[in-house]
Structure 1
Amino acid sequence: MHTELTHHLASFATTMTAADLPEAVQREAKRSLFNIVGCMLGGAHHYGVNTALAAMRPFLGEANTTLIGRGEKADALHAALINCLASSIYSFDDTHEQAVVHPSGPVAAAVLALAETRIVSGADMLAAFALGVELECRLCKALTVPPAQGSIAWSGTGITGGFGAATAAARLLGLDAAATRTAMGIALSQAAGFRAMHGSLCTPMMPAQAAQTGLRAALLARQGFTASPVALEGRYGFLSVFSEQPDLDALAGELGTRFEILRNTYKPYPCGIVIHPIIDACLDLRRAHTLTADQIVSVAITASPGAMALCNNRHPTDELQAHVSLHHWTAVAFIRGTARIADMDAETAVQDPALIAFQDRVEATLDPSLASDAAVVSLTLADGRRLTARTDHAIGSAARPMTDAELEGKFVGMAIPVLGPERTRALMTQCWAVASLADAAELIRLAA
């Protein structure tokens, strides 16, 4: 294994300038930041965020950092945790198309927190964000995407988000390569998160903890705290812990010429991304044949390995379980013809008798050959007809990316209930123009 891998990545993160980032990378970084700020606003008042903040409020430090969408402040470390928790609470955040990591939340929460504690230009913040997301995606890909041999049991965002957040925070703090390497090592030593927590508030807490971990790691490194210089590649290091066979080329190959952030994708639906092609196929069938739920006798879904491993969960009992239930979202698509945040509300959706009953008509089977953004849905109707729809690439996938206009529609839906129309429009303008801001805190103040 490369003996200076951690240092190599730290050097890359500290020497790349904003001007070195290709225009396409800067554009995707803006789209990623735009999307995740909207997600922070959308989740700002979720009961899980309220619960976490209430638990920690007696222990908050100096109130100098905005809690997005809440009109109040906290210390930077707690703000990073709360803002990232809000961004992931509805499973509406972004996803790397191959690694299925949700990279922007931890990195954005860390850089937004730092941007209020010092004067940081929008261009510098965007560059730090882009590089943090880039290395987080590379690390998760190196652990889990073949030829790598990793375990699906780990939460990719939980174990790699702190690394991305530390990378970005170290850059904004002006740390040199050696100190950045230390920050990376501190964050990697605290990597955690596993999928048995799906369906609980621990799921969004994993990226939130990663955001706080990464920011804290950079602050500790700045102060002289130490870590192994070979945190990634050393004997019993991070790579050997989290992957039986890591793909080192995915992690460190073509740095500066191949950018994984360009594979980032955005969710049109607030649920596990492997459910999205199923929702697309259901909505296509409903629209094409003007179906009502009482016409449908049975629904046969042919699903990808990821969908079956993570979301084959009939009859969720609360909103968090509904996030990862393909049966729930199939019922929603056919009965309501939608797939919105409101469609997983505990009282009006999860406990809706019609949605509960319809799930008994749904059966899912595994097709190992299906990609994560593909699915087949077949219906048997009461009149004997059989109808089938296939999704080869879900809306929002790399092959069918959401447009800027679609991202704006998603942003508006999450932001207006929190900020109102006027402030929402102003914030959207600032997000798209972030690279031209002399002080990145201007954007954050609009999102308060």
Structure 2
Amino acid sequence: MRHSSFRWLPGLVALPLLVNAQDLRVDDLHAVSSPATTILGVQPAEIARPKSYKALETALLTNFSSGSSWQIPVNYALEVTPYWFKPRDISVRQLMNPTTGASLKQSFSISVATGRRASLFDSTRTIQQVGFGLRATLFPGQLTTAFDTDLAALTSRIAIIAPARYILEAGRGKTFANGNALRAYLDKEFGIVINDRITDKAYIRDFTQLQIDVVESVLLGRYPENNAQCQLLLGQMILKLSDYDKTYKLAELAKKVERHYYFRKGFRMDVAAASSVEFPTNDFDYSTLAKYGIWATPGGSWIWNNVNLEVLGLVRFMSNQVVTDPTRNWDVGSRVAANWRRLSLSIEYIHRFQNTTLQRTSLPTGQTDRLLRSDQDYRLAMGFEYHLSDRFVLAYALGRNFSLNTEFNGNLISILSFNAGLSGPTVKIAD
């Protein structure tokens, strides 16, 4: 039985709870996270995403080698984005609003996935499959005006915290008799001026964990415990963080800025390509080309009365050599979604133009005739998603899948899944 997630954001893992009938690729109209799993129509328990060349080498050797020979793992998936194999000194704006060239580099990924399917001629046999895929974002869309507001707030907050770095540098190998000496040094060397003082250290008990870490490991630990003036000076600066925290919290601001990466306005387009090979005898030395395809998902989104309206299109060519009579399919469709803060509702329709190559052997001559037949098919599905948190998503999809000349029985789409998010790329933000 083949499973597929209903979530398109990178780094989500689907744990299907209920699946009926046939292959459920309900992510066809979504920005493809792993084309390799899409071409196979599977959703493994986990998608490995190595963040370095060494981690990639380890993943490949661990899963694809067995002693002195190669092996094909079962239900394994891997996706790498080479651009993020090393830290990038780029600004938040460069990351969030890249040029077309930068978007291609940042989003280009390579994916590999493995799976099994039942033989069409012998239901007791399974055939090993391996999928390969590429994907990239050509046009990521435009940032909303709220991005500038949230980025400015985040920048201001970081600016308030920034003096801690200078105090840390000032404290290395130096001794200050009192807070005034430290203040004079900061003013002279770094242009940091702090004039106010506090006398109530009880505020320290109410700091967030981040602020506690700053105080203990960065600030207070650098100075003598009996240096009261220095303690008060540092406490005053942290109090400013606490006061500011009542309006904007650093972690929440960072999440807001990050969300703008996914929720954009205007036109955007993703492209992807994938192919799969099969091993009919389950022998590594004998393989056949099973499927290959290329597709684009243009679309756009708009904000209307605090609702994010999203329209995605699909143009796809897919060749399927798995079925008894090979097919060449052109799919055209659209998906419309309304996204609230936690809730998302969608409906999608895909129309298929299928050309089937009919292979018939004439007896007694044994001559094989090939005839072309044209058919049309469609798929219609509705979706529901609810974000339990930033990392956990509950989703359900219901509808009708393609039914003509597929390698699966039935055409009912009914899938309930629970998606858990994994971490994305690490970015070093330049000053």
TM norm. shorter chain > 0.5:
no
Q: TM-score range by the shorter chain?
A: under 0.3
Give the TM-score, by structure 2 length.
Answer: 0.22
* Between structures 1 and 2, the one with greater strand share: 2
Give the TM-score, by structure 1 length.
Answer: 0.21
Larger Rg: 2
* Between structures 1 and 2, the one with greater helix share: 1
